[in-house]
Structure formats: C-alpha cells, structure tokens
Amino acid sequence: PEKTLAMIKPDAVQSNYTSMIRQIIVSEGFHILEEKLAHLDDVAAKSFYKEHAERSFFPSLIRFMTSGPVYAMILEREGAIKKWRTLMGPTDSNKARVQAPDSIRAKFGIDGEKNSVHGSDSTEAAIREIATFFRDFQES
Ligand code: ATP
Ligand code: MG
C-alpha cells in the first residue's frame, strides 16, 4: 500500500492535540509505520517548504514551523496520499470549518497558516519528505 508523510505542526503539538489527531488517523485505517517528535531548524524548514520560497507568507511560515516541535509520521494505507489530504481538509482552517467540518484542520487548526497538520501532495513529495525525517527508513 501507498505511504505518505504526515506531520502535526507546532500549533497542534503545543495545544496537546497530538494524541487526539493520532487516534483519528488510526481509526481511519492508516497504519503508522514510524513516528517521531522533531524540531525543525531554519535550514530544514526552508528546505521542506522550498516550493513556497517566493511567496509573501514564506518568512512567517518558517518562523511558525521552527517555533516548536512537530510530530512526524509515516502513514500507510491504500491511496494514503489523497486519503490523508482529504482527512486534513482545506489549507485554511476557517475555510475548512465551512467546507469540511469533520476534517482535522476544521477541528484543530487556527487559521490559514497555523493549520495543525501537513500531508505530502505527491508520490515524489512523500519520498522526499519521509527521507527528511526518517533517514534510516527502508522499504521492506
Ligand atoms: P501543507 O503543505 O502544509 O500540507 P497545503 O498543501 O494544504 O499544506 P500549501 O499551499 O502547500 O498548503 O502551503 C503550505 C503551508 O503554508 C500551509 O499549510 C500553511 O501553513 C502555509 N500557507 C499557505 N498559504 C498561506 C497563506 N495564504 N497565508 C499564510 N500561510 C499560508
Ligand atoms: Mg503543500
């Protein structure tokens, strides 16, 4: 089955939502293959979000993502990449509360930046992002 990288962002870790979000993930049929608490430094955060380097929100995003620990997980299930992004909901938490009230961002996110979770958006991103957090992870 497909794998994706899920991350609980600093806002949600700080608010102690990690175990609730983890429980939702498991109840939705994802297997958590690896998980760890990590703290992104400036270089790691800029590399992780390098596709957004030219956007006006980038400096604020990097400050936010380095402001505290994140909780990274490798999720596995059929269609994991798309299923996890659907479960996360729209990027903007306030939009999520209108458009997808059962989504994780609707329940746990604050706004368009502090939106509680991240998910890889393609197979290539999943491979790259899994390697960012789990250097020693091997396909078995
Ligand atoms: P992620 O990549 O974190 O899973 P996403 O794919 O839904 O989220 P992207 O467009 O890739 O959204 O944006 C990456 C992150 O940058 C968002 O999750 C959010 O934290 C932040 N961000 C995106 N757009 C804005 C914005 N307009 N204002 C402030 N922050 C934003
Ligand atoms: Mg994205």
15-34: per-residue pLDDT in tens?
999 999 999 999 999 999 99
N residues, the chain = 140
Q: Is 92 in the pocket of ligand 1 (CB under 6 A)?
A: no
pLDDT tens per residue across span 47-66: 999 999 999 999 999 999 99
pLDDT tens per residue across span 79-104: 999 999 999 999 999 999 999 999 99
- Residues marked as catalytic: 118
Asked if 137 contacts 3 with a C-beta cutoff of 8 angstroms, the reply is no
> Which CATH architecture group holds 2-133?
2-Layer Sandwich (3.30)
- From 48, 91, 111, the mutation candidate for ligand 1 (largest count of ligand atoms within 8 A of CB) is 91
Asked if 7 contacts 105 with a C-beta cutoff of 8 angstroms, the reply is no
Residue that the structure tokens 């979770």 belong to: 117
Backbone angles phi, psi at 15, to 5 degrees: -85, 5
User: Under DSSP, is residue 100 helix (H, G, I), strand (E, B) or coil?
Assistant: coil
Both tokens of residue 12? 């949600």
Residue 11 CB partners (closer than 8 Å, separation 6+): 64, 109, 110, 114, 115, 116
Nearest CA residue ID for atom 30, ligand 1:
113
138 pLDDT above the threshold of 90 = no
Mean pLDDT of 109-120: 98
Both tokens of residue 41? 């430094």
If you ran DSSP here, which 8-state letter would residue 31 be given? E
